[in-house]
Copies of this chain bind each other. A is one copy, B any other.
Amino acid sequence: MLVVAAYDIAITSDGGTRRLNRVSKACTRYGQRVQNSVFECLIDDLEFLKMRQELTNIIDPSQDSLRFYVLGNHYEHKVIHVGTKNVQDLNGPLIM
């Protein structure tokens, strides 16, 4: 099934950047980044459970937000894209 995972991490808070990097890295193991903080994951129920637990353990629930959308197995006409498919790497190294 297709699951969309979106996150907002409070990067200006203590440890925020580290949490952001960890969430981002964990998500890449489950799916494909489609926007800077949005992943699309083709996973089964068990993987989804694992993913949720893993991400929940990383975030600070008082400051960060995770939101999952379960689009099921017939998602072809439920996803509409406009614009570039390139993702800005806001977490990459800053080259001066």
Contacts and interface: CB of A to CB of B under 8 A. Distances in A.
A83 to B, nearest CB: 4
Given A8-B87, A52-B80, A67 B37 contact: no
Given A6-B38, A87-B8, A82 B69 contact: no
Q: Which of A60, A61, A71, A77 has the most CB of B within 10 A?
A: A71
Given A63-B84, A68-B81, A69-B69, 8 more contacts: A7-B35, A8-B36, A38-B67, A59-B83, A61-B83, A67-B79, A70-B78, A71-B78
A91 interface: no
Interface string A84-96: 1111100000000
